[in-house]
Amino acid sequence: MGANLWVNYGEAVAAVLFGIGFGNLLLQKNLIKKIIGLNIMDSAVYLFLAEKGYIEGRAAPIVVNGVQEAAAYINPIPSGLVLTGIVVSVSVSALMLSLTIRLYRRYHTLDLDQISLMIKREGR
């Protein structure tokens, strides 16, 4: 056990959120709740990345008054990575939701167990 657990509370929260989202994926039977769990896991990863780039007492990476020292701003790289990630995650969830709608139209339920049983009964 290291000494930095309480200092790194943001990363700790990200770890707990990741675990909760993964538990949702494993335990929920409803497809929509599974998708929400995956979205929570996404947010946890983004939170972890942004906490890595944060530096206490420094400003957002927007140049003000021509100050261009590296000691004045936080790390801009995680912000850029997460910015692209957020927009990709919405297209991922749209794709999964459309698959859910297709499954519902065919089997009239959202329960993954029932769907797999019906697929088994169809002989596929």
**For residues 99-118, which are near another protein according to CB under 8 A?**
99-102, 104-107, 109-111, 113-114, 117-118
Q: Show contacts with another protein in window 64-83 (CB under 8 A).
A: 68-80, 82-83
* CB-based contact 18:41 (threshold 8 Å): yes
Rounded to whole angstroms, how far apart are CA atoms 14 and 121? 41
**Distance in angstroms (rounded) separating the CA atoms of residues 50 and 110:** 35
Q: Does 122 bind another protein (CB under 8 A)?
A: yes
Work out how close the CB of 36 gets to another protein at its nearest, in angstroms, rounded to a whole number. 5
Judged by CB under 8 A, does residue 38 bind another protein?
A: no
